[in-house]
Structure 1
């Protein structure tokens, strides 16, 4: 099956100048009919210089200048709307800091249409550069969602044992290579622009799961990711604020009550960690956001809308694949490993058995 696919990329300032060439060259080498895909580049916070650079470097791409910085979700929404207006059947979201194998797109399409209930597909992501021996380690075999709202990559920084050979169910897909059927977007709509950065892909996939769409890994669709772990006050604010929003949006009230004791213990640890590392002000801003009546009212309104749209009514089925330990490959914290994870695991083993709603 050949679908007409819109490949969506977002630029911000010098991002494309740092990474465009490898990404562009690999997409030009795709073994997929050239007439059946179009590259759309949304230039967030555009300037005459960035627009000129993009048009010169990738003349066959559709460049969409955007005066404002709309963030990840907002930028993708601009590209998605243009792609569907141009007659694309589906879209795939990716980043400039990647390059892909020749079968990247064809394998995504194959996986997406191997089952009518599959709605979102992720590639197998490898970390670039390779190790000294030339071996590429895993970046993501699909993403995992912890029941307290944390998202992280499955298999990160591990060797590729090749154990996953067939299309496989995952909890949610990485936005670095996220194929979305047009039927899914018609049903669910666009991305949550308020998220701006972090957990946008998680929020959309949880929404898809509650609409009873399947999310899978296409192991023969290969991507290499020049992943850079970034940690600043701005990144931490959106990561934590959006984690809270995800919990509020998607759990039923009894589930929120059930996880509350473990959530409060984790929050105490987070406050102590923030105090130690100089991020106390950022955590205060996160909490201040939810003490703003307008923000809280908007979040609750969105929660009400999402809960009303659910097809998967019971949280018991919704939480089946959720993780009970946190595996952040970039952060090796012995307190998390030897105290936090065992405690969260034990708590969830009991709590999830109590969920009958």
Structure 2
């Protein structure tokens, strides 16, 4: 669990994890420059260790740091504003123990109202966009099911799998690192699952600001450039170029065009990392591209992306293009 700046729910979230039933656990809390008054409220429990790196290591770096301090068979990431039900982690362990299963996520509910979904798995679009799936709908499923992307708000995985994948790429800093981990799992023959009965209640607040949009867009392009295969990038090139132009225009109109430009600059300056990362990720794939890319969606969610009329029109084009591109992808 990570703590950054104001953490009004931190005490409740740590307490909920400590009250988990059906397993023995340790809690590693990474202080990414949290308010001292919030850290002071953390339960005094011998199972809790606070790490103080002295800087904000980001979500990716903080998770890697925390996991490295654990010596458990399974590792779980739980947001500092996410309150887990008593049996949630044990249910996730039971699913993660199954052969061929990689990361598993809780059924993440909104804290208010708690019967509605915050994320039941994160869809991943052909152009690298991702969002909280089924937000605001009621969960009717009871059995675990496959998802393309597992939300890092409450995620559990075998330690051996985490180590094999190398955890998160810390260059992401924040956003889409859980998407990369999920896609890498699918590409190496592991399924990614959601356990709806393992409930985690998230004090979720949606926001768009310049820094967040900069990181989302920068990381989306990093995801595309390292995970997508060359043949996929070639087939999707016209769609990717058109989307990039539209997103750049949207960024300017929304006041964060400078952040979009800084993303391009960052990617250029870190091109050696991207090249190295791409070589590693392409070499580790064991599943044919046509198979794992079938998990990507050509449809944007109007409620998550918006505006709805434009999104629906775009989806018609996305679906038609992908229908043709998928057939070609399997022929290479």
Distance 2:173 2:110 in 1: 25
Deviation at 1:56, TM superposition (A): 4.8
Q: Return the match for 2:32 from 26, 37, 44.
A: 44
Query: 2:13 matched to 1:30?
Result: no
Query: 2:43 matched to 1:69?
Result: no
Contact between 1:55 and 1:63, CA under 8 Å: does it hold in 2? Answer: no
Aligned positions, number = 329
Query: 2:268 matched to 1:268?
Result: no
Deviation at 1:55, TM superposition (A): 5.1
Normalising by structure 2, we get a TM-score of 0.94
Normalising by structure 1, we get a TM-score of 0.87
Distance 1:153 1:57 in 2: 29
Aligned to 1:13: 5
Aligned to 2:118: 139
Distance 2:38 2:134 in 1: 36
Which secondary structure does the structure 2 equivalent of 1:319 belong to? helix
| Residue range with higher mean Cα deviation, 194-203 or 322-331 | 322-331
Q: Return the match for 1:323 from 297, 301, 313.
A: 297
Deviation at 1:275, TM superposition (A): 2.2
Aligned to 2:70: 83
Contact between 2:302 and 2:308, CA under 8 Å: does it hold in 1? Answer: no
Stretches of structure 2 that go unaligned for 5 or more consecutive residues are none
Contact between 2:81 and 2:203, CA under 8 Å: does it hold in 1? Answer: yes
Runs of 4+ in 1 over 4 A off after TM superposition: none
C-alpha spacing 1:105/1:328, structure 2 compared with 1 (3 Å): farther
Contact between 1:139 and 1:157, CA under 8 Å: does it hold in 2? Answer: yes
| Residue range with higher mean Cα deviation, 322-331 or 295-304 | 322-331
Aligned 1:224-243 pairs, distance under 5 A:
224-243=201-220
Deviations 1:104-132 (A, max 9, x none): 1111011112x2111210111111211xx
Deviation at 1:214, TM superposition (A): 1.3
Deviation at 1:328, TM superposition (A): 5.7
Contact between 2:16 and 2:84, CA under 8 Å: does it hold in 1? Answer: yes
Aligned to 2:312: 338
Query: 2:263 matched to 1:286?
Result: yes
Aligned to 1:4: none
Which secondary structure does the structure 2 equivalent of 1:125 belong to? strand
Aligned to 1:206: 183
C-alpha spacing 1:299/1:328, structure 2 compared with 1 (3 Å): farther
Which secondary structure does the structure 2 equivalent of 1:155 belong to? coil
Deviations 1:7-47 (A, max 9, x none): xx0001222xx1123313322432224xx11111000136x
Distance 2:109 2:303 in 1: 14
Contact between 1:152 and 1:328, CA under 8 Å: does it hold in 2? Answer: no
Deviation at 1:63, TM superposition (A): 0.8
Distance 2:20 2:143 in 1: 21
Contact between 1:40 and 1:79, CA under 8 Å: does it hold in 2? Answer: yes
Distance 2:174 2:88 in 1: 25
Aligned to 1:117: 100
Pairwise CA RMSD: 1.7
Stretches of structure 1 that go unaligned for 5 or more consecutive residues are 1-8
Contact between 1:13 and 1:45, CA under 8 Å: does it hold in 2? Answer: yes
C-alpha spacing 1:215/1:338, structure 2 compared with 1 (3 Å): closer
C-alpha spacing 1:45/1:340, structure 2 compared with 1 (3 Å): same
Deviations 1:268-324 (A, max 9, x none): 2112212221121111112222343xx112211110111112222x21011111111
Deviation at 1:336, TM superposition (A): 3.3
